[in-house]
Structure 1
Amino acid sequence: MKYVILLGDGMADEPVGELAGKTPLQAAATPNMDYLAANGVIGTVRTVPEGLPPGSDVANLSVMGYDPCKYYTGRSPLEAVSMGVDLGENDVAFRCNLVTLSDNGIYEEKTMIDYSSDEISTLEAKELIEDIDKRLSNDFIHFYPGISYRHLLVWKGGPVSSDLTPPHDISGRFITEYLPKGDGYETLIYLMKESNKILPEHPVNLRRKKEKGLRPATSIWLWGQGKKPALPKFIDKYGLTGSVISAVDLIKGIGICAGLKVVEVEGATGNIHTNFRGKALAALEELSKGKDFVYIHVEAPDEAGHRGELSNKVKAIEEVDKMLAELLNGLSQFKDYRIMLLPDHPTPMSIRTHSSSPVPFVIYTSGINTNNKIKSYNEEAAEQSDLIFSTGHELMDYFIRRK
């Protein structure tokens, strides 16, 4: 049996007025998702345990079969693993976004204009973060460049109980009440304010504004702290070899910690311009080479939700549906296969950030036609099912071990 999970990050949503009261999943053209619903089993799953933040880190741990209440140590340590940054026992990693803040007033009174600095390119961001590291690092604090706006700060002996807010949660808001609080807040705020003195007039940002008409990266924003994680290997849990395909370090890091092979796909970006088809083809190649399981993560719907881009969210969902068509066609070469489609969490357009509400999932097994009374895949359809997982990490057991 071959197993595939296709995860559309943040696909789930709420009814949207501009879509005549439909959710993006309901409004999108998704014939292949609907085929799975009509011929498989559909239900809902709560991927975010009560008391934990509704981030992709928590939710994807759940989907991959790991109880976040037991294994979650923070987002950034998982990204550090993917970036090849070896964390010591006392090291604390922080996600370091390059963001665009308003240019008015003192730092504390600025507004979060863009959590991604217009999705700054990786090459531009690398130059900025390396310059920040030269100017602001010391014996205990160092910065590491990542992909696009997503980077890393490692603080030797740093605090893990700081009260920090993801920048995508505060788009368009004054940052005043969302600045770091708790342990280490003075150092974190100092670094953020100092970066705001360095970045606005950096040559990279001047070129972005004058030559490209793009938003500059005017500050770093620190959040998502934690220490080095330790996960049981996926093969030890389920007896399956596997691979993970994603454009973002978070998912790659979870995969590495789980002992899965990370597959790089040319043109995979983490946004609407990603190589959707290339990811599907890469998954099929991994299975053809002998892997039992592939986890495909698509960031584009979530990014569109955070940016308030409704048409792009619908388009991203339709691209995921095309990926599904490619997968179903390619999987036909195998005698037995099973595929599951789901989001990790909702990213409602109304709030432009994550929620912890349950999400719809659908599982299809080759050779089995359930003739399901539910004929479409979306939030409302899944709620009609009595198949409910209130503990998210148990869904993987059901997916792999069900008869």
Structure 2
Amino acid sequence: MLYVDPYDKTASPFGWHSSDGKTFSEETSGNNIIVQENHDGSEIDKNSQKAFGGDELVFDYQLDLDSANVEDYFQASATNVFVLTNKLHDVYYKFGFNEQFGNFQVNNFGKGGAGNDPVKVLIQDRSGSNNANFATPVDGYSPKMRLYPFTSKKPEKDSALVNQIMIHEYSHGVTQRITGGPDKTSCLSSDESNALSEGWSDFFAIAMELNSTNTRNDSFKMFEWLYGDMARSKPICSDTNVNDLTYNSLSYSSKGRLECHMGGEVWVNALNEVLWNFIEKYKISNDVSEGEITSNSEGNVLAIQIVIDALKIQPCNPTFLEARDAIVLAQKQRFNKKDLHCFIWKGFAKRGMGVNAKPPSQEGDQIVYTNDFEIPEECQ
């Protein structure tokens, strides 16, 4: 399928290939995103090959996943990344990640923010392997996403073809820019907030890819195609027989520290409970970019909006409980609906972050997070 003019006219008023409406790139570059290869593994920020669409901007390339090397289908991969990351720019704009909050654009159209900071995406990046990452400087300086080949099996697999991993990485930039404000880079640097960052990125990847065939007890194995299994210790799943992680699972040796991906698993499973509590009443949107956001929007739309709102009001370097409380407050400020309020509390309480949960304490040689499963009186 070829998409014609898929950009959102509010988020990207000149389209995806122009910053001023006068000059248009014929490659995978524009106001929001620059996608290029790093086949030689250079660590130097340079101008390298991009996919080419010509003056008609037609990006239509063959893809052969049986090719021995990912470089063989560079143009197809670059096109996929350019479309998805621009789509993410436009979707997050709808949910409130705009110029004022430090989104990633060359031209901010006089709407605030610093500008001149499109995301630079290096794909088929031979400076690493079997991973991906996203570096987020302050507003006005371009973030960089690196998508490495996965080389542990033959043929190689290209992370540039896995939308879930790109949503995860791009979302790191969103949460980093919003939390504490776009002029800071250290507001997700504590152990707990770093873990929250991983959990949010998984949550957005799940909530945006849901469709009406999904059910509450589905298991989500993050990046399964790349890893051959999954990149997490357990599938993300509301069924506690499949995933039993709770607040107490954050406990660790006082000689060590909280590992961010393990902590992120706890957080995303709590958010997943809230998400499905919403969906059971408000159903699923197959495309979260469509329609206006109201108190009666689909459950995944409501959940994304409330989490984005919470990022804006939570403190710098939030704890799990502070991030939870920000979500509760964000719902009150935007929708103020009792059912959503209680869906949030019931979701967090199921994973041990009920109303009486407290910060961790040291017990012997352990830092212990103690579960609480209580919900507020108004929700009983």
TM class by smaller structure: under 0.3
Higher relative contact order (CA 8 A, sep 6+): 1
TM-score with structure 1 length normalisation? 0.25
More strand by share: 1
